[in-house]
Amino acid sequence: MANFRYELRQTTGQVTSGVIAANNSGAAAQMLRAQGGYILSLLEVKNAKKKGLDGLLSFKVQTGPSAKDVLNFTRQLAVMIKAGISIRAALEGIVEQIENEKFREIVHSIRRDVESGKCFSDALVKYPKVFSPLYINMVRASELSGSFGSMLDRIANYMAQQIETRSQVRGAMIYPIIIAVMAVVTTVFMLTYVLPKFVVIFEGKEAALPKPTKIILFISNMFCNYWYLIVGALAAVVWCFLWIINTDWGRIWWDKTKLMLPIFKKLCRCLYISRSLQTMGELVNAGVPMLDTINITANIAGNTVFKRMWHQVLVAVKQGKKISAPLSTSRLLPRTVVQMISAGEESGKLAEVLKDVSEFYQNELKSVIRTVTAMIEPLMIVIMGVIVGFIAMSIILPVFKLSSLVKG
Distances (CA, A) of 135 to 120, 142, 154, 237, 333: 11, 11, 10, 38, 25
Beta-carbon count within 10 A of 396 CB: 11
Q: How far apart are CA 19 and CA 4, in angstroms?
A: 5
Q: Domains of the chain: which residue ranges?
A: 2-46+64-160, 181-408
Q: What is the pLDDT of residue 315?
A: 92
Among residues 377, 376, 364, which one has the least CA distance to residue 263?
Answer: 376
The pTM for the full model equals 0.68
Beta-carbon count within 10 A of 88 CB: 14
Q: How far apart are CA 325 and CA 63, in angstroms?
A: 44
Express each pLDDT in 191-200 by its tens digit.
888 778 777 7
CATH of region 2-46+64-160: 1.20.81.30
Q: What is the pLDDT of residue 403?
A: 63
Architecture of domain 181-408: Up-down Bundle (1.20)
Q: How far apart are CA 194 and CA 301, in angstroms?
A: 49
Express each pLDDT in 246-256 by its tens digit.
898 999 999 99
Q: How far apart are CA 13 and CA 180, in angstroms?
A: 64
Q: How far apart are CA 212 and CA 388, in angstroms?
A: 13
Q: Are 2-46+64-160 and 181-408 in the same CATH fold? A: yes
Q: What is the pLDDT of residue 146?
A: 74
Query: Contact at 8 Å (CB) between 133 and 299?
Result: yes
Q: What is the pLDDT of residue 397?
A: 78
Residues of the chain with pLDDT under 50: 48-61, 408
Task: Report strand pairing: 38-44 vs 15-22.
Answer: unpaired
User: How does 275-301 read in b/e, with b if 16+ C-beta sit within 10 Å?
Assistant: bbbbbbbbbbbbbbebebbbbbbbebb
What is the three-class DSSP state of 9? Answer: strand
